Structure 1
Amino acid sequence: MRKRFITAFSALAMATTIGLVPTTSAQAEPEISDVQARVDRLYHEAEQASERYNDAKIELDALQRDLDSLRADQERQDAELGDVREQVQDSLLRQFEGQGISAVGEVFVSDDPSAFLSQLSTMSTYDNYQDALLDDYATEVKALDIRQSATNTRLGQVSASEEKLAAEKATIDDNLAEAEGLLEDLKEEERAAILSRSSSAAPADVPDVPASGRAAAAVAYAMAQVGDSYVYGAAGPSAFDCSGLTMMAWAAAGVALPHSSSMQYSSGAAVAASDLQPGDLVFYYSPISHVGMYIGNGMIVDAANPGTGVRIAELYSMPYVGAVRPG
């Protein structure tokens, strides 16, 4: 069972004071219910961190794409600036040909675009064509400065996002290690009792509620994963976290969703609990940190936690927040 608790992709937030004091002759064995509550809390806090990790990863991916675009734009602008600079230099060479080119020598050895522009502005003998060239050059310098500033800003945001990811991953690892330690302190039969606490209904026990349209494909995919492992950050094919399961289920129906429970909450029209239909996404906790899929008759399928995996459970088995209908 160890491998089901320390996963290949752990990472996120947890309380600092949870743990068992080794028993002595003067101390009673901890109640199984107490250990269960502590393990449940560790799992939930790890899931909260995992969903924040998913959010941060989506943000980082977007920032990286934006940064790549800004860098490409800056390179294009740098090339355009070089072209205008060559035109200015050629014009000056033609103007001063045969009459003291040394007067503009410093202009041609300056690598700094702003310094180059400043040196040119001190020269007074320009015709209209040269004035236009200098205006173009000044415009290109400003455009390059804007792009360089935007690129530097994105670089700072990327760095901050990477630090956030690392912190969340460390928290997940800590939570799961502590949960494992709690379980290892129990006798085998006690551990089995805790692991079976959230045993889900077997698929055969769930009434067959027909789904229509694309929702049918999403429900079929999610139901086919019952019994698979829960792994933080996973999205198949044989292990999932909560938003990874719902994302892949709706992907099977041709609908793209983000790998984030909080972002999936904005992925469709809101649905009242009384109007739920199979395939609707149902959300839990505040702030939202868990998502499942409604399958009818007051039941959901969800990737619960490392101790339970993908299961079938009651709609109100967790603090219910709301529902949306993708597609």
Structure 2
Amino acid sequence: MLNGRKRIIPALTGLAIVGIVGFGPSVPAQAEPDIKDVESRVDQLFHEAEQASERFNDARIELRELKRDLRSLKADENRQGDRLEGVREQVERSVVRQYQGQGLSAVGQVLVSDDPQGFLSELSTMSAFDDLQDQMYGDYTAELKALDIRREATEDRADQVAEVKAQLAEEKSEIDEKLEEAQALLARLEEKEREKLVSRDTTRPPASVPASGRAGAAIAYAMAQVGDAYVYGAAGPSAFDCSGLTMMAWGAAGVSLPHSSSAQYSSGPRVAESDLQPGDLVFYYSPISHVGMYIGNGMIVHAANPGAGVTTAPLHSMPYVGAVRPG
């Protein structure tokens, strides 16, 4: 459905807005907004929201990795605790054998200790310590230290998880704030002006793109989404952000990519602009916060912004940074 318009403009019409946040100097309530000023500010807000969205995507990736590490560390800590308990039992049995029939009350006090460090302290002061197996005592000490190390690592990772969760909340708040302001600006325009503004980046998609193999499959997926909505953090099936679209497109070709434009920039070998081929990923802005897919003839397909949705555009319609070739 490449020539049809199935684009969705979420929440850009029918809004009752009282005042505008951050839009230039104060203006009278009935003043008509200047279309050029609105266009410039909306572009800026969409871009700032996308930057926050891509940071949000990066943080989600980091959070998944941290949670995976945390689960591994907790499992390792539990295994280490089991090993420590096994060595402790060996030491206890040795104490009982050494002191059977002599000084059992003192031994009993040691055996009921719930504090591993206290256990070591009491054990080291017993008059019969010289009779215990030195290697067994050393094993217990080493296992206890290993458990402490694992506990510290687990606690550190848990703190990192909490920090990233807080970062996610901040980025989500910024996305919502920028989008709300852009929608408020658009709501002040007449319907025809608004439609013209949000559709100004839309270009007629090519009838076909010469590509085959994995690149062909990725392009076919991306082009089939032209007209779909842009939603921050989305990766289909009917709405996408920029890196969500390229991730899903190349995923359809059997190539796994992270849901992050900056991370995708490291997903394959770099390609010079003069060597671009259909299917290559192209990146924009510094720091990188937008990605599209090259489809040939100086054109790209990309999830542009909440106004334009998934569309095609000239390669240099945004500040170009570079390209990579996945797969």
Q: TM-score, normalised by structure 2?
A: 0.91
| Aligned counterpart, 1:52 | 55
SS of structure 2 residue aligned to 1:307 = coil
SS of structure 1 residue aligned to 2:301 = strand
| Aligned counterpart, 1:281 | 281
- Work out whether 1:114 is the aligned partner of 2:117: yes
| Aligned counterpart, 1:144 | 147
Q: Which AA in structure 1 matches 2:23?
A: I
In structure 1, C-alpha distance between the alignment counterparts of 2:84 and 2:103, rounded to whole Å: 27
In structure 1, C-alpha distance between the alignment counterparts of 2:67 and 2:29, rounded to whole Å: 54
User: 1:198 Cα deviation (Å)?
Assistant: 1.3
Whether the 8 Å contact between 2:10 and 2:306 is mirrored in structure 1 is: no
In structure 2, C-alpha distance between the alignment counterparts of 1:286 and 1:126, rounded to whole Å: 66
Q: TM-score, normalised by structure 1?
A: 0.91
In structure 2, C-alpha distance between the alignment counterparts of 1:254 and 1:228, rounded to whole Å: 22
Deviations 1:223-253 (A, max 9, x none): 1110010010000111100000000000011
User: 1:129 Cα deviation (Å)?
Assistant: 5.9
| Aligned counterpart, 1:62 | 65
**For the structure 1 residues 20 and 230, does the alpha-carbon distance in structure 2 shift closer, same or farther, using more than 3 Å as the test?**
farther
| Aligned counterpart, 1:161 | 164
Whether the 8 Å contact between 2:9 and 2:309 is mirrored in structure 1 is: no
Q: Which AA in structure 1 matches 2:28?
A: T
Deviations 1:84-113 (A, max 9, x none): 111111111111111121222331222111
User: 1:3 Cα deviation (Å)?
Assistant: 2.7
In structure 2, C-alpha distance between the alignment counterparts of 1:19 and 1:259, rounded to whole Å: 34
1:34 to 20, 34, 37: 37
- Work out whether 1:74 is the aligned partner of 2:72: no
User: 1:21 Cα deviation (Å)?
Assistant: 4.1
In structure 2, C-alpha distance between the alignment counterparts of 1:210 and 1:24, rounded to whole Å: 53
- % identical equivalent positions: 66
Whether the 8 Å contact between 1:4 and 1:306 is mirrored in structure 2 is: no
In structure 1, C-alpha distance between the alignment counterparts of 2:12 and 2:112, rounded to whole Å: 64
Whether the 8 Å contact between 1:232 and 1:240 is mirrored in structure 2 is: yes
| Aligned counterpart, 1:100 | 103
SS of structure 1 residue aligned to 2:133 = helix
User: Which segments of 5 or more consecutive residues in structure 1 lack a partner in the other structure?
Assistant: 7-15
| Aligned counterpart, 2:183 | 180
Whether the 8 Å contact between 2:9 and 2:307 is mirrored in structure 1 is: no
In structure 2, C-alpha distance between the alignment counterparts of 1:198 and 1:59, rounded to whole Å: 33
Q: Which AA in structure 2 matches 1:224?
A: A
- Work out whether 1:305 is the aligned partner of 2:305: yes
**For the structure 1 residues 147 and 223, does the alpha-carbon distance in structure 2 shift closer, same or farther, using more than 3 Å as the test?**
same
User: 1:52 Cα deviation (Å)?
Assistant: 0.1
Q: Which AA in structure 2 matches 1:31?
A: D
**For the structure 1 residues 5 and 134, does the alpha-carbon distance in structure 2 shift closer, same or farther, using more than 3 Å as the test?**
farther
User: 1:211 Cα deviation (Å)?
Assistant: 1.2
SS of structure 2 residue aligned to 1:3 = coil
Whether the 8 Å contact between 2:9 and 2:306 is mirrored in structure 1 is: no
User: 1:17 Cα deviation (Å)?
Assistant: 3.0
| Aligned counterpart, 2:10 | 3
User: 1:20 Cα deviation (Å)?
Assistant: 7.4
User: Which segments of 5 or more consecutive residues in structure 2 lack a partner in the other structure?
Assistant: 1-7, 14-20
User: 1:202 Cα deviation (Å)?
Assistant: 3.2
Moved more, 112-121 or 249-258: 112-121
In structure 1, C-alpha distance between the alignment counterparts of 2:294 and 2:308, rounded to whole Å: 18
| Aligned counterpart, 1:135 | 138
In structure 1, C-alpha distance between the alignment counterparts of 2:314 and 2:105, rounded to whole Å: 86
RMSD value, Cα? 1.8
| Aligned counterpart, 2:292 | 292
In structure 2, C-alpha distance between the alignment counterparts of 1:321 and 1:246, rounded to whole Å: 17
In structure 2, C-alpha distance between the alignment counterparts of 1:82 and 1:5, rounded to whole Å: 63
**For the structure 1 residues 81 and 216, does the alpha-carbon distance in structure 2 shift closer, same or farther, using more than 3 Å as the test?**
same
Q: Which AA in structure 2 matches 1:148?
A: R
In structure 2, C-alpha distance between the alignment counterparts of 1:55 and 1:42, rounded to whole Å: 20
User: 1:195 Cα deviation (Å)?
Assistant: 1.5
Q: Which AA in structure 2 matches 1:18?
A: F
SS of structure 1 residue aligned to 2:282 = strand
**For the structure 1 residues 128 and 280, does the alpha-carbon distance in structure 2 shift closer, same or farther, using more than 3 Å as the test?**
farther
In structure 1, C-alpha distance between the alignment counterparts of 2:219 and 2:34, rounded to whole Å: 39
User: 1:196 Cα deviation (Å)?
Assistant: 2.0
**For the structure 1 residues 53 and 17, does the alpha-carbon distance in structure 2 shift closer, same or farther, using more than 3 Å as the test?**
same
**For the structure 1 residues 304 and 20, does the alpha-carbon distance in structure 2 shift closer, same or farther, using more than 3 Å as the test?**
farther
In structure 2, C-alpha distance between the alignment counterparts of 1:263 and 1:180, rounded to whole Å: 29
User: 1:126 Cα deviation (Å)?
Assistant: 4.2
| Aligned counterpart, 2:325 | 325
**For the structure 1 residues 160 and 150, does the alpha-carbon distance in structure 2 shift closer, same or farther, using more than 3 Å as the test?**
same
SS of structure 1 residue aligned to 2:256 = coil
Whether the 8 Å contact between 2:9 and 2:229 is mirrored in structure 1 is: no
Deviations 1:98-136 (A, max 9, x none): 112122233122211111111111124246762221111
Q: Which AA in structure 1 matches 2:83?
A: E
| Aligned counterpart, 2:22 | 17
In structure 2, C-alpha distance between the alignment counterparts of 1:4 and 1:291, rounded to whole Å: 24
Q: Which AA in structure 2 matches 1:193?
A: K
